[in-house]
């Protein structure tokens, strides 16, 4: 098909352009960060770093400055890789790489190496390793205790506190606690820019959105030559539906740093949300080329494929997703491969065929021993939740019950937010199908951020006669502007129906 | 923000603004030297109601908690003591308890942790994100914070 040739041509063209742009910035950053190392090495108010290799230490510090301070995520992870290559017994290096990598195979391998090398680390360093590895393998109680011990011992280690705040915000979704940790950093250093960024998001996501813009302004002013402040500002504007200003900020970020791929994908997704799918595809191709991590590249290919569904071209969409799934399989990326099948199912108007798509997604996850159990279960939970959502479309209570059984069993042993939320959502779906609308509302309210659950919640509220609540839920849904498949499936029909004063239901949500 | 982060969380700003409900787990903590490793929710309720006043070794239990009027404690009181938060508050505030110092109200979780770290007979209840290794988290109804079905998971 023509689109594939165009896709390949664009990849090559943008790749050549990207290479030309990447060098000077990376070198400039490395030089600046290298100078910083000299100053940091003599500080005694940060957690010790034990390595026999000067090169490993330097790369570790560069990793932190890129990944944590400036949010050059890929470059940061690359520096962590270099650091453990320079010193294979560098326990904190292995733990940090395991903590930040997006590659599930690397995560498993580095966790094991961190554990095996831990005896080489200093006592306080071991606490940091315990926190990093504990957050990955479900040992959260000792992990949190270790981090709080460190924060008490190193009250001036801003980067440590910011890392904890970022984890509370992103992984734990504990916005109040994240804000507390980050506010403390800024009390001592009001210009510490990584905390400004994270605190803005903590406020925005924690229901204090009015406090976020001044922090973003401060963040932008603090780092005029850096792309991430512009990128973050753009994202917040886009979420609020201000697409033109979001594009301006994303473009400013790319003018500052032409290789800052998250802004490139931000531009692409903004066009996708605006309904300009052809332009979105063009921009996604650029993002795919710019990203270095194979997981990022595959994630963006999924978003690229989704544009065909967004513009209601199901044939092309299924073909595109099949190709991406095949490539993910080839690259041994089971999460991305399963996501391709799950996304296809969500857009599939034929519920029986959609269940087959979900069977394919489950099959991918069935025997993958090289990824962590938690990672596999998170994806399985999403697949089962999707199954229950699709079951509602056809009043298939048996299929919904079966999905719930799988989630119930998983939720008994896995406290991951995604697993727990998916369980409540599926339980709500079963109750909905059984006519227990009050019970369904109660369960679906436990998953207040997923468009699939919000759609079912609106349906249940409507069936229960709570018309005002249903309208409020639909308006909440209609206000979502993000690049997730759930949003792409659920929100457009809701917006259309609200525009015509109707109330769409899950049964009608298929393309 | 990071790419993964973008996909998982950031996209939901407006939804979060409309429905704010963060859940946390409350940890029941004791001094590390305390032999207690677990107790039932009912036993915790008895301690809070002053029906149980001594540890098995005979030493008097000191309860360290936040102001019963704080939103977090309202949940804990209802869950552990049964009945309404108002009933629970009345029991916790009984004048007769104060002279014996069997209950101490402090203004923050950090203060609870510090008090329990320093007091071998104390028992405290805090947001699990505030624990240190200077205290021991005990299991309630055979579960610890973050376990599925943990009873002191609040909103």
pLDDT of residue A420: 87
H-helix or E-strand containing B124? strand B122-127
Q: What percent of chain A has pLDDT over 70?
A: 89
Average pLDDT over residues B115-134: 96
Average pLDDT over residues A139-162: 96
Is pLDDT of A306 > 90?
Answer: yes
Query: pLDDT (tens digit, 9 = 90+) per residue, B85-110?
Result: 677 777 777 776 655 558 888 999 99
8 A C-beta contact, residue A509 and residue A392? no
The C-alpha atoms of residue A403 and residue A430 are separated, in whole angstroms, by: 9
8 A C-beta contact, residue B6 and residue A250? no
pLDDT of residue A328: 95
Task: Look at B5 and A154; give whichever has higher pLDDT.
Answer: A154
Bridge partners (DSSP) of residue B138 are B28
Taking CB atoms and an 8 Å limit, are A235 and B3 in contact across chains?
Answer: no
The predicted complex's ipTM stands at: 0.85
The whole-chain average pLDDT of chain B stands at 81
Site of tokens 């109680």: A141
How far does Cα A226 stand from its chain's mean position?
22
Query: pLDDT (tens digit, 9 = 90+) per residue, A450-496?
Result: 999 999 999 999 999 999 999 999 998 998 888 999 999 999 999 99
Among A41-45, A149-153, A281-285, which is the least confidently predicted range? A41-45
Among A296-300, A404-408, B3-7, which is the least confidently predicted range? B3-7
Average pLDDT over residues A32-44: 42
Q: What percent of chain A has pLDDT over 90?
A: 71
The dihedral over CA atoms of A158, A163, A168, A171, expressed in degrees to the nearest 10, equals 170
Is pLDDT of A199 > 70?
Answer: yes
Q: How far is CA A166 from CA A158, A178, A181, in A?
A: 12, 7, 9
Query: pLDDT (tens digit, 9 = 90+) per residue, A367-411?
Result: 666 777 878 899 999 999 999 999 999 999 999 999 999 999 988
8 A C-beta contact, residue A183 and residue A161? no
Q: Which residue of A has its CA nearest to B20?
A: A207
Average pLDDT over residues A505-510: 58
* B15 lies in some domain: no
Taking CB atoms and an 8 Å limit, are B12 and A449 in contact across chains?
Answer: yes
Q: What percent of chain B has pLDDT over 70?
A: 79
Average pLDDT over residues A424-449: 93
pLDDT of residue B101: 58
pLDDT of residue A495: 93
Is pLDDT of B147 > 80?
Answer: yes
* B123 lies in some domain: yes
Is pLDDT of A37 > 50?
Answer: no
Taking CB atoms and an 8 Å limit, are A152 and B132 in contact across chains?
Answer: yes
Chain A residues near residue B24 by CB distance under 8 angstroms: 174, 177
Helix crossing, A261-274 with A243-256: angle to 10°?
A: 160
Q: What percent of chain B has pLDDT over 90?
A: 50
Taking CB atoms and an 8 Å limit, are A231 and B13 in contact across chains?
Answer: no
Instruction: Write out residues 84-123 of B within 8 Å (CB-CB) of A.
Output: none
Is pLDDT of A63 > 90?
Answer: yes
Min Cα separation A6/chain B (Å): 26
Is pLDDT of A27 > 70?
Answer: no
Q: How confident is the model at residue B12 (pLDDT cuts 50, 70, 90)?
A: very low
* B7 lies in some domain: no
Taking CB atoms and an 8 Å limit, are A413 and B148 in contact across chains?
Answer: yes
Query: pLDDT (tens digit, 9 = 90+) per residue, A313-344?
Result: 999 999 999 999 999 999 999 999 999 999 99
Chain A residues near residue B151 by CB distance under 8 angstroms: none
Query: pLDDT (tens digit, 9 = 90+) per residue, A78-104?
Result: 999 999 999 999 999 999 999 999 888
Among A57-71, A285-299, A432-446, B70-84, which is the least confidently predicted range? B70-84
Is pLDDT of A31 > 70?
Answer: no
pLDDT of residue A369: 60
The C-alpha atoms of residue B145 and residue B1 are separated, in whole angstroms, by: 29
Task: Look at A510 and A207; give whichever has higher pLDDT.
Answer: A207
pLDDT of residue A88: 97
pLDDT of residue A227: 93
DSSP state at residue B60: B
Chain A residues near residue B112 by CB distance under 8 angstroms: none
Chain B residues near residue A482 by CB distance under 8 angstroms: 10-12
The whole-chain average pLDDT of chain A stands at 87
Determine contact: B127 vs chain A, CB below 8 A: yes
Bridge partners (DSSP) of residue B104 are B64
Determine contact: B3 vs chain A, CB below 8 A: yes
Average pLDDT over residues A114-126: 95
As its CATH architecture, domain A380-511 has: Alpha Horseshoe (1.25)
Determine contact: B70 vs chain A, CB below 8 A: no
Taking CB atoms and an 8 Å limit, are A482 and B147 in contact across chains?
Answer: no
pLDDT of residue A6: 31
Determine contact: B35 vs chain A, CB below 8 A: no
The C-alpha atoms of residue A339 and residue A247 are separated, in whole angstroms, by: 27
Question: Among candidates A190, A188, A257, which has minimal Cα distance to A229?
Answer: A257
* B5 lies in some domain: no
Query: pLDDT (tens digit, 9 = 90+) per residue, A397-409?
Result: 999 999 999 999 9
Bridge pairing between strands B62-66 and B122-127: parallel
Is pLDDT of A13 > 80?
Answer: no
8 A C-beta contact, residue A295 and residue A74? no
What is the total count of domains within chain B? 1
Of the residues A201, A209, A381, A482, the best mutation for testing chain B's interface (the one with the most B CB atoms within 10 Å of its CB) is A482
């Amino acid at each position: 098909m023509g689109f594939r040739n165009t896709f390949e041509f664009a990849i090559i063209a943008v790749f050549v352009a990207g290479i030309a742009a990447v060098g000077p910035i990376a070198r400039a950053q490395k030089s600046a960060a290298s100078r910083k190392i000299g100053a940091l090495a003599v500080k005694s108010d940060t957690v010790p770093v034990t390595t026999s290799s000067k090169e490993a230490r330097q790369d570790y510090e560069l990793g932190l400055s890129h990944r944590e301070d400036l949010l050059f995520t890929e470059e940061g992870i690359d520096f962590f890789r270099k650091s453990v290559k320079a010193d294979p017994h560098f326990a904190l290096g292995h733990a940090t790489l395991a903590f930040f990598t997006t590659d599930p195979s690397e995560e498993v391998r580095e966790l094991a190496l961190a554990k095996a090398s831990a005896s080489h680390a200093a006592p306080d360093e071991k606490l940091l390793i315990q926190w990093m590895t504990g957050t990955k393998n479900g040992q959260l109680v000792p992990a949190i205790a270790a981090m709080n011990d460190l924060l008490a011992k190193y009250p001036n280690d801003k980067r440590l506190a910011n890392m904890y705040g970022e984890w509370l915000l992103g992984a734990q979704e504990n916005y109040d606690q994240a804000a507390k940790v980050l506010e403390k950093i800024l009390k001592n250093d009001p210009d510490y820019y990584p905390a400004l960024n994270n605190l803005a998001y903590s406020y925005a996501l924690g229901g204090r959105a009015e406090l976020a813009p001044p922090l973003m302004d401060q963040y932008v002013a603090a780092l005029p030559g850096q792309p991430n402040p512009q990128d973050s500002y753009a994202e917040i504007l886009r979420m609020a539906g201000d697409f033109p200003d979001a594009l301006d900020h994303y473009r400013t970020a790319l003018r500052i740093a032409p290789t800052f791929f998250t802004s490139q994908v931000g531009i692409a997704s903004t066009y996708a949300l605006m309904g300009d799918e052809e332009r979105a595809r063009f921009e996604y191709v650029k993002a795919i080329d710019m990203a270095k991590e194979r997981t990022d590249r595959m994630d963006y290919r999924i978003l690229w494929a989704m544009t065909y569904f967004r513009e209601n071209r199901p044939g092309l969409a299924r073909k595109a997703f099949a190709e991406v799934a095949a490539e993910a399989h080839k690259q041994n990326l089971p999460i991305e491969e399963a996501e391709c099948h799950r996304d296809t199912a969500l857009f599939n108007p034929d519920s029986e065929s959609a269940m087959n798509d979900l069977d394919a997604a489950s099959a991918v996850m069935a025997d993958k021993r090289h990824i962590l159990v938690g990672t596999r279960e998170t994806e399985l939970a999403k697949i089962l939740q999707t199954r229950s959502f699709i079951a509602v479309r056809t009043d298939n209570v048996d299929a919904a019950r079966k999905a719930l059984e799988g989630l119930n069993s998983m939720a008994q042993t896995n406290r991951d937010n995604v697993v727990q939320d998916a369980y409540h959502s599926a339980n709500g779906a079963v109750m909905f199908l059984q006519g227990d609308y009050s019970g369904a509302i109660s369960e679906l309210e436990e998953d207040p951020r997923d468009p699939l659950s919000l759609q079912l919640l609106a349906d249940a509220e409507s069936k229960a006669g709570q018309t005002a609540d249903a309208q409020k839920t639909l308006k909440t849904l209609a206000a979502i502007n993000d690049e997730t498949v759930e949003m792409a499936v659920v929100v457009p029909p809701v917006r259309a129906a609200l525009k015509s004063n109707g109330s769409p239901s899950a049964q009608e949500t298929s393309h | 923000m990071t790419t993964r982060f973008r996909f998982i969380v950031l996209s939901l700003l407006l939804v979060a603004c409309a429905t704010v409900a963060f859940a946390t787990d409350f940890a029941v903590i004791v001094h590390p030297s305390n032999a207690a490793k677990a107790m039932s929710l009912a036993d915790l309720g008895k301690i809070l109601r002053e029906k149980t006043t001594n540890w098995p070794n005979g030493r008097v239990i000191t309860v360290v908690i936040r102001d019963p009027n704080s939103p977090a404690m309202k949940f804990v009181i209802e869950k552990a003591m049964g009945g309404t938060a108002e009933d629970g508050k009345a029991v916790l505030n009984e004048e007769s308890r104060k002279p014996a110092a069997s209950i101490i109200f402090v203004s923050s979780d950090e203060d609870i942790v510090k008090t329990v770290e320093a007091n071998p007979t104390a028992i405290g209840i805090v947001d699990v994100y505030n624990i240190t290794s200077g205290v021991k988290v005990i299991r309630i109804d055979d579960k610890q914070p973050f376990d599925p079905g943990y009873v002191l998971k609040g909103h």
